[in-house]
Homo-oligomer: A and B are copies of this chain.
């Protein structure tokens, strides 16, 4: 349920309403929107009468039931207003959300060595990226495949962070590694294969860094939002949803089917920011530019693109990685679309 407060409600009154509802056994959450304050209520609300709540204060404008099974993640929970995730990076805060410029995340699948990760960071930053992605712990189908350099790779990410000023996004696979990852990462990623690893979701929900939640390979949109709800319910309001391709019957020409239609659907259902990963989504570098442009035109808030200094020698996911040169070129193409839809950062990319 949500309690919509009238415009101009005194803060003391808002707090009083929250406290009153807290005594009813509910968990009130104050959401400050552009114009109004909304109090979100989670708990045993099924038997509550909205009229009863209405009587708590004359400053209450409306009491509305959230129909969706995902409460905190629903757009309704914020009375229609988008949320935004502000990430503190060495270069300052970066905001990801519907009312902000597009944020580009770039970098290799895996952190391979210091030179490659620092160089990549500097290159993608010069081209306009705000975050460096790079895997220290890698979920690999085969136990005999390269599993990531683990803890030592975290140090290299820290070095790349310092050298470039970029924020760091890296994946957590095991909650035992979470503390170490949180020390380095500005955003903690939960991968597609762990989207319904509920233990892990609860733990990333209980730490302070924003969380990037990739969609599971065959997760429905509702399951995905429910996974986000696990994180939100554990106390972390900063969740970014990332589409990375779903599984389909045709895998001959693409690794996955990038479901760009999630952009308007999610926009309608949730207030959370939306990222698209065309690299995993298609599996082939040649298809990344076209799909990146489509994603921006569809209205996504952020893009995640794999860039590797030498894709042919990459320890993982080489075929879907762009070279730094191709990434430079891509950013210039993306600027055209980004500007057309009013989502490109000002001032324009240094290279342009």
Contacts of A202 in B (CB 8 A): 143
Interface residues of A (CB under 8 A from B): 42, 69-71, 139-144, 147, 173-176, 193-194, 196-200, 202, 217-218, 220-223, 226, 229-230, 233-234, 246-254, 257-261, 263-265, 267-269, 281-282, 286-287, 289-291, 293-299, 336-337, 339-341
Contacts of A175 in B (CB 8 A): 174, 176
Contacts of A229 in B (CB 8 A): 142-144
Whole-angstrom distance between the alpha carbons of A282 and B267 in the complex?
A: 14
Contacts of A140 in B (CB 8 A): 198
Contacts of A144 in B (CB 8 A): 42, 71, 229, 233
B174 touching A141, Cβ below 8 Å: no
B198 touching A197, Cβ below 8 Å: no
Whole-angstrom distance between the alpha carbons of A50 and B248 in the complex?
A: 38
Instruction: Pick the most buried of A139, A247, A258: most chain B CB atoms within 10 A of its CB.
Output: A247
Supply 9 A–B pairs (Cβ within 8 Å), ascending by A: A71-B144, A139-B198, A142-B229, A173-B198, A193-B198, A194-B196, A221-B253, A222-B250, A293-B341
CB nearest to A224 among chain B residues: B250
Residues A248 and B246 in contact in the complex (CB < 8 Å), given A196-B139, A286-B264, A293-B298: yes
A249 touching B218, Cβ below 8 Å: yes
Q: From residue A334, how far is it (CB to closest CB) to chain B in Å? A: 10
B291 touching A261, Cβ below 8 Å: yes
Whole-angstrom distance between the alpha carbons of A340 and B338 in the complex?
A: 10
Whole-angstrom distance between the alpha carbons of A252 and B250 in the complex?
A: 12
Contact of A336 among B71, B176, B198, B341 (CB under 8 A): B341
Contacts of A42 in B (CB 8 A): 144
B265 touching A254, Cβ below 8 Å: yes
Contacts of A287 in B (CB 8 A): 261, 264-265
Residues A249 and B252 in contact in the complex (CB < 8 Å), given A142-B226, A261-B282, A261-B287: no
Whole-angstrom distance between the alpha carbons of A261 and B259 in the complex?
A: 8
Whole-angstrom distance between the alpha carbons of A259 and B294 in the complex?
A: 11
Q: From residue A198, how far is it (CB to closest CB) to chain B in Å? A: 5
Q: A141-B223, A297-B297, A297-B337 are in contact. List 6 more A-B contacts (CB 8 A).
A: A193-B197, A197-B197, A221-B250, A248-B248, A290-B299, A296-B297
Whole-angstrom distance between the alpha carbons of A142 and B85 in the complex?
A: 23
A264 touching B291, Cβ below 8 Å: yes
Instruction: Pick the most buried of A144, A175, A234: most chain B CB atoms within 10 A of its CB.
Output: A144
Contacts of A293 in B (CB 8 A): 297-299, 341
CB nearest to A288 among chain B residues: B264
B291 touching A260, Cβ below 8 Å: yes
A257 touching B254, Cβ below 8 Å: no
CB nearest to A205 among chain B residues: B143
Whole-angstrom distance between the alpha carbons of A252 and B220 in the complex?
A: 8
Instruction: Pick the most buried of A230, A258, A261, A290: most chain B CB atoms within 10 A of its CB.
Output: A261
Contacts of A223 in B (CB 8 A): 141
Q: From residue A168, how far is it (CB to closest CB) to chain B in Å? A: 21
A250 touching B337, Cβ below 8 Å: no
Residues A196 and B193 in contact in the complex (CB < 8 Å), given A144-B233, A218-B218, A247-B249: yes
Contacts of A295 in B (CB 8 A): 294
Q: From residue A134, how far is it (CB to closest CB) to chain B in Å? A: 18
